[in-house]
């Protein structure tokens, strides 16, 4: 149980490392606590001073004979562990460590030590290497940031302290007030999910913005995202960094394709998180969320005094779930009589460049009462005859309605005061139409999907987990890094994934004995633990007649030995040749070391890494998510049948995705799965794995 009440609402604070010198971290923290009006008791701790900033100073924690709720630690990294131990003896259950010098500079052991202390002594620790925390509601500035934050309903969590300070400076500009401001640094003890769980129950918080560089569990994150969504608390996430370095060494197609942050994109989509691509997006989204009610909306009316910006706004809605409203016939008739002849009544409504504030109001009055409109985007460009501030006031009056409102006042100097007025009156205001439409789309999508989050994967029945366990245990005994293809086929079959008929043989004689069980056309594949991409070394022979089997076998062995003389050959796999009408797809899975299993589907075969038509999901996911993955592919047009051709079996493909997800969930020792290609047959005919690769976590 985290002791967050002691962090955000302490009654007493010890500042360990309160410096006697100005402009030091310790002295700034003490100064901020005093100057920002913290009403609780403050105990500076510094053995070199008797008094600091008018307060009695203590040489160590033991000298403080009263209860301490929170210790803020700003001392050299190597001394932090001892202070935490001292605090634990005094039953102090919360700490903020702003000190740097831990794992971010390679001091991993030192950070592990303080992590262990926190775990053993039940200390909730923010940091280390952080800015601190701010709770404006109780005048708590337990940080070394100069804060002038208004009290509000937005909480910010950030791994980056510098981002915190920048957002503090920008908050006033956008009229944003905050409930909590939290810099988590290295998040040794307290992570994002811990804080999100706390904020989900925090009555002061309605909206949360998060900057993170990595998360530790997709399952835990989706659970807390659902909790937030159920309580109508939107979460905006800006993800920094990428995982491309980790993917570079991957041996499978799936691993190679998974390296460009696809896991996080999939996670945020499944968790119904509003994903920001840049810092400016956070402020854009916070405005629209803060200043509108949380009722669903889908019908948008755009009013503009310029054609071009209106067109750009419509362009911004392309491929989104936010359609343009179709105005009621009565309103269209009345507007046609009251607006200039040259005005355009098609949505966007262009009321021309000479539009006065009254002309804007005329249109607004119609839209407010139009049941076919539930959101309004106002676009204004300054012309020589424009009434800038009066028009802004008419937009302010729109707040009396129940419509979602956003405004775009383009330009700079001429419209600056109007933008400030609108924000002060709690109206989301932007400088560009694209920013406004992106924000409206993000808001609408979040509202639409807030009840759809799944915290458990759909499971499949009648799987043979015992067989899979035996295969993996045997691989462990042999210290294998990958299963042979015949073993991989057995694992897939144990989870009801159909595979091609196959048989392993050690010699040409063995092949000839087995060929009677197969159809007339065959495939030969080399089996070697040293060779993962068989086609690159001549290790695959296709469309072989039974009469040519021995010759093809000898040619296969010869080609492989020429290309990989060092490879140890375990045998040759004989499989049926699938020649019926099918589409080659890929299904894969890779276990992200932090997030967990990630599942992929895409166009398969030899072009998978070239065309990169792919989609991802993370565990847990539902069949509905599997369909969303498939429908997001460019290939879906082919799957659905084009130019009168019969559609392919998307249901079988979705089922197979769930089965692979279940397999990854059930067996942590499976590192990667690559089914490429998987033959997808026509609708109702299913799918069948033609090639399979399973990597495991045992190193040699």
Please list the rounded mean pLDDT of every run of 10 residues in the chain (700 residues): 91 94 90 95 94 94 95 96 96 96 92 96 96 95 88 94 84 93 95 97 97 90 96 95 47 46 89 95 97 94 96 93 93 94 94 96 96 96 94 94 96 95 96 96 95 84 93 90 92 96 82 75 86 84 86 88 88 85 92 89 76 87 92 90 88 96 94 94 95 79
Q: Where are the domains of the chain?
A: 4-242, 293-449, 501-576, 583-696
**How far is CA 39 from its chain centroid?**
39
CB-based contacts of 170, cutoff 8 Å, min separation 6: 283
What was the pLDDT predicted at 249? 38
Query: How is residue 392 written in tokens?
Result: 């802004």
Tell me the per-residue pLDDT of 590-601, one tens digit each, with 9 for 90 and over: 998 888 899 999
What is the structure's pLDDT at 284? 97
Q: Count other Cβ atoms within 10 Å, centred on residue 90.
A: 15
Bridge partners for 596 per DSSP? 592
Instruction: State how far the Cα of 144 lies from the Cα of 137, in Å rounded to an integer.
Output: 18
Angle at 316 between CA 312 and CA 318, to 5 degrees: 120
Q: Hey, do 4-242 and 293-449 end up sharing a CATH topology, with the first three levels equal?
A: yes
Q: Which CATH number fits domain 583-696: 3.30.420.40, 3.10.129.10, 3.30.470.20, 3.20.20.80?
A: 3.30.470.20
pTM: 0.90
According to CATH, what is the number of the domain 4-242? Answer: 3.40.50.720
Note whether 580 and 688 are within 8 A (CB). Answer: no
> In sequence order, which residues have a C-beta less than 8 Å from that of residue 13 and are 6 or more positions away?
33, 38, 40, 41, 42, 43, 68, 69, 70, 71, 72, 142
Q: Token match 């993370």: residue?
A: 618
Report the pLDDT value the prediction gives residue 700, as an integer from 0 to 100: 42
Using DSSP's 3-state secondary structure scheme, residue 21 falls into coil
**3-class secondary structure, 103:** helix
Instruction: Please state which architecture CATH assigns to domain 501-576.
Output: 2-Layer Sandwich (3.30)
- Residues 395 and 403: beta-carbon distance below 8 Å: no
88-128 per-position pLDDT tens digit: 999 999 999 999 999 999 999 999 999 999 999 999 999 99
The strand ranges marked E within 7-123 are 12-16, 41-45, 51-52, 55-56, 70-73, 94-97
β partners of residue 73 = 16, 97
Q: What is the pLDDT of residue 620?
A: 87
pLDDT of residue 698: 61
Q: Looking at the structure, give the CATH architecture of the domain made up of residues 293-449.
A: 3-Layer(aba) Sandwich (3.40)
């Amino acid at each position: 149980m985290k002791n967050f009440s002691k962090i955000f609402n302490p009654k007493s604070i010890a500042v360990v490392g309160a410096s006697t010198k100005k402009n030091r971290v310790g002295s700034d923290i003490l100064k901020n606590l005093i100057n920002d009006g913290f009403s609780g008791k403050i105990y500076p701790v510094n053995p070199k001073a008797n008094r600091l900033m008018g307060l009695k100073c203590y040489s160590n924690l033991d000298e403080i004979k009263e209860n301490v709720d929170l210790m803020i630690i700003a001392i050299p990294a190597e001394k932090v562990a001892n202070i935490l131990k001292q605090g634990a003896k005094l039953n102090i259950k919360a700490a903020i460590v702003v000190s740097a010098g831990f794992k971010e500079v390679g001091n991993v052991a030192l950070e592990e030590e303080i992590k262990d202390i926190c775990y053993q002594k039940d200390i909730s620790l923010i940091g280390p290497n952080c800015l601190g925390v701010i709770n404006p509601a109780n005048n708590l500035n337990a940080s070394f940031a100069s804060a002038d934050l208004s009290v509000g309903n937005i909480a910010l969590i950030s791994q980056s302290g510098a981002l915190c300070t920048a957002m503090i400076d920008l908050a006033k500009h956008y009229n944003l007030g905050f409930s909590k401001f939290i810099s988590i640094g290295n998040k040794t003890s307290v992570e994002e999910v811990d804080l999100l769980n706390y904020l989900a129950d925090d009555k002061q918080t309605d909206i949360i913005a998060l900057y993170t560089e990595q998360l530790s569990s997709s399952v835990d994150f989706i659970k807390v995202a659902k909790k937030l969504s159920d309580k109508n608390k939107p979460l905006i996430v800006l993800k920094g960094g990428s995982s491309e370095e980790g993917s570079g060494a991957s041996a499978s197609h799936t691993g190679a394709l998974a390296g460009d942050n696809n896991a996080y994109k999939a996670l945020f989509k499944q968790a119904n998180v509003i994903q920001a691509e840049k810092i400016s997006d956070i402020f854009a989204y916070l405005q629209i969320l803060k200043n509108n009610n949380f009722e669903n909306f889908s019908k948008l009316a755009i009013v503009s005094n310029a054609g071009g910006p209106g067109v750009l706004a419509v362009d911004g809605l392309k491929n989104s779930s936010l359609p343009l409203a179709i105005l009621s016939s009565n309103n269209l008739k009345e507007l046609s009589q009251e607006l200039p002849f040259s005005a355009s009544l098609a949505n966007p409504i262009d009321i021309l460049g000479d539009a006065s504030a009254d002309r804007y109001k005329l249109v607004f009055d119609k839209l407010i009462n139009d049941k076919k409109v539930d959101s309004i985007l106002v676009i204004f460009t300054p012309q020589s005859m424009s009434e800038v501030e009066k028009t802004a006031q008419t937009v302010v009056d729109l707040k009396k309605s129940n419509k979602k409102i956003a405004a775009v006042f383009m330009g700079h100097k001429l419209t600056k005061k109007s933008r400030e007025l609108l924000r002060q009156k709690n109206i989301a205001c932007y400088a560009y139409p694209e920013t406004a439409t992106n924000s409206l789309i993000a808001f609408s999508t979040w509202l639409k999907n807030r009840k759809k989050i799944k915290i458990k994967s759909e499971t499949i029945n009648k799987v043979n987990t015992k067989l899979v366990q035996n295969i993996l245990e045997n691989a462990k005994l042999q210290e294998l890094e990958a299963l042979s293809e015949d073993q991989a086929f057995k694992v897939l079959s144990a989870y009801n994934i159909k595979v091609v008929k196959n048989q392993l043989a050690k010699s040409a004689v063995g092949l000839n004995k087995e060929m009677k069980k197969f159809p007339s056309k065959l495939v030969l594949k080399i089996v070697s633990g040293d060779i993962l991409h068989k086609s690159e070394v001549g290790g695959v022979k296709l469309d072989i007649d039974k009469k040519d089997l021995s010759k093809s076998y000898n040619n296969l062995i010869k080609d492989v030995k020429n290309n990989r003389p060092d490879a140890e050959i375990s045998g040759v796999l004989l499989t049926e040749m699938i020649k019926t009408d099918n589409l080659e797809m890929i299904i894969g899975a890779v276990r992200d070391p932090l997030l967990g299993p990630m599942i992929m589907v895409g166009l398969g075969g030899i072009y998978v890494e070239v065309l990169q038509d792919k989609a991802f999901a993370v565990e847990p996911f539902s069949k509905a998510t599997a369909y969303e993955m498939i429908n997001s592919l460019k290939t879906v047009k082919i799957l659905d049948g084009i130019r009168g051709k019969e559609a392919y079996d998307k249901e079988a493909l979705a089922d197979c995705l769930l089965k692979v997800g279940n397999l990854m969930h059930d067996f942590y020792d499976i590192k990667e799965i690559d089914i490429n290609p998987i033959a997808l047959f026509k609708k109702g005919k299913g799918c069948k794995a033609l090639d399979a690769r399973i990597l495991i976590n045992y190193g040699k």
